[in-house]
Structure 1
Amino acid sequence: MEQRSEDLFRFPNIINTLQVIGCHFGLKPPGWHFPRHHHHLFELLFCVAGEVVHEINRDTVIMHKGDWLLIKTGVRHQSSNTASTDYGFFNVHFDLDDPEIRSLLSATPYRLIRHKEAAPSKLSFYVSELEAVMHRNHTEHREAEAPPEPSLLRFEDKLLLQSYTLLIIHDVLQLFREHGTASGHRAAPDKNPSLFTADIAHMIEEKLSLGLCEEATVTGVAKEMNLSRSQCSKLFAKVYGLSPRQYVSQQKLKLAKELLVTTHLPMTDIAEKLGFHSASHFSRQFRRWTGQSPSEFKPRHPAQKDDHS
């Protein structure tokens, strides 16, 4: 009797990069102040205890225990503990090279989620799991009489750190969809882009994507659309939360990873497909992006075809 084989469900190929910087828990005394600054990554804050006052652009945002705050890349802000008790917090700076997710995260300069909205989610559970990972790492190094260096996390703990960070981002985005802008959050100066701005940004993105392998330049795209280079960059950044040049780099990195993992093409061919002048040029840029050479990133053994595919 002939057996029928078919795929019931097939997920899309996903080769995206999550960057996690400065993930930590902290405690600040009354009177603590951090001066105005900005980051090149998204910042996500959770108020564990006490309260804190943030000055974001021209808005004043007060976080209480259980509140969450997402601050967009490039937004200037400062923080102060003006209460009479300690301010405890969880903080992570992160970035993802998925354009759709970045667009959602960049919709406004900041988003505030109050405790009552976050309580039904699993956010507090994810934070407690992250705290357990960090506590275990700290305890192990203390027993070994060595300082608790974050870089010495075990491989499986690094996976947990990435996994819980992604789950936190997932739940935060889900709460944005369910509740919209939190009550008391006054619209910031550069609020949601207009439909015209979004359309122009999407056109720029399409032209950059189509010209990805031909070294499409921002100047060339701007000229084609009768825009100045600065106009092109500002419109694009309003919608996607990063510059056109950063977007091209991230898309090239994504395609490079896919070619390295799923094909057996020589480096010279991959470099040519990505618009690099030579294999050595591609290799140097890939190392800047990832800290690894293309040959180090490429799987050591060729992928074997699954018998069930």
Structure 2
Amino acid sequence: MIYGTGEVLIISPGTWHVNENASQQDSMTYITCHFDIGDLELKAEIISKIANVVFSSDSFFAKETCKIAKKFIQISADKGMTLEEQRLEIQMTFLEFLLLIVKNKDKFSESTAKYTDREAQLARSLATLIADDLKSDHPSLSSFEDNCQILNISTGYGHRVFKKVYGITPLHYLEEKKYSKAKILLGSPEYSIEQVSQMIGAQSLSSFSKQFKKWSGSTPSKYQQNILHKRSVTTIKGSGYFE
């Protein structure tokens, strides 16, 4: 794909890519923003409507996206804000970007849907099976092959459809859900780390500790200490916890 000044390209997750300057003499400057979205339906909407399409500089989407990018730069360069304030401002600006997409999805005429209604339905069904299993206090974590059998499709086809619609593999989605659940449980003082390990379906406490450190860069015990310390409050009667 060739794109130039003021043009915008949203690259679908998992798409191998590299940027090269088409000119041998002129310099090239561009802005790259890496982001992820936990909401699968919104992720699918973005992939379907605008991913892997070059939007010309005079298009509605390119103009609005450039405004967001400039706000990112302004926030990052503002020495009057703390790092925490900058992060929050960038997050709020990014939410504005997502809201822009949702409100104006009918204006993205440059793109065509990249998957069929049947593929979208199958992907949603697979995501639901994965998420529902993990909601249990003792998840069985059925294999992806088992879930595909429930829907009477092959494992290979199910994998391709899921990746096509959501831009991530089923395993990646499962890991995201497990990590989110683990963080919530570790933030509750009533659960031990071993209980949390069992409630996300980890094979052992050791494997859970290793996996959580890969996810967060911190051990479960350290994460739990930090989050509970933040939630600790002092009252007249003593200390307590709040959500």
Q: 2:33 aligns with which of 76, 92, 95?
A: 92
| Aligned amino acid, residue 13 of structure 2 | T
C-alpha distance in 2, partners of 1:72/1:92?
13
Q: Quick one: structure 1 residues 275 and 104, their matched pair in 2 at CA, closer, same or farther if it must change by over 3 Å?
A: same
* 1:282 aligned partner: 208
Per the alignment, residue 292 of structure 1 pairs with 218
Contact between 1:111 and 1:182, CA under 8 Å: does it hold in 2? no
The answer to whether the 8 A contact 2:14-2:168 is kept is no
Give the counterpart of 1:209 among 120, 131, 134. Answer: 131
Structure 1 unmatched ranges of 5 or more: 1-54, 56-60, 137-153
1:111/1:181 contact within 8 Å kept: no
Sequence identity of aligned pairs in percent?
Answer: 20
Q: Deviations over 1:119-168 (max 9, x none)?
A: 467414413325516xx6xxxxxxxxxxxxxxxxx9x4266246415623
Is the CA contact (8 Å cut-off) linking 2:44 and 2:165 kept in structure 1?
Answer: yes
Aligned position for 1:195 = 117
Instruction: Point out the structure with the larger strand share.
Output: 1
2:188 maps to 1:262? yes
Whole-angstrom distance in 1 between the partners of 2:11 and 2:54: 9
**How many residues were matched structurally?**
224
**In the alignment, is the contact (CA less than 8 A) between 1:218 and 1:229 conserved in 2?**
yes
What TM-score comes out, normalization by structure 2 length? 0.76
Residue 89 of structure 1: SS of its match in structure 2?
coil
Match of 1:75 in 2: 15
Match of 2:169 in 1: 243
- Alpha-carbon shift at residue 107 of structure 1 (Å): 2.0
Note closer, same or farther for the CA distance 1:120–1:202 as it changes in structure 2 (3 Å cut): closer
Structure 2: runs of 5+ lacking an equivalent: 234-239
Partner in structure 2 of residue 106 of structure 1: 47
Q: How far apart, in 1, do the equivalents of 2:96 and 2:53 lie?
A: 14
Displacement of 1:205 after TM fit? Answer: 1.0
Range with bigger deviation, 78-87 or 277-286: 78-87
Amino acid paired to 1:110: N
TM-score (norm 1): 0.62
RMSD of the TM alignment (CA)?
3.1
Answer with 234-243 or 247-256: which moved more: 234-243
User: Post-superposition shift, 1:221?
Assistant: 0.7
Higher helix share: 2
CA distance in 1 between counterparts of 2:15 and 2:107 reads 17
Deviation at residue 206 of structure 1 after TM alignment: 1.1
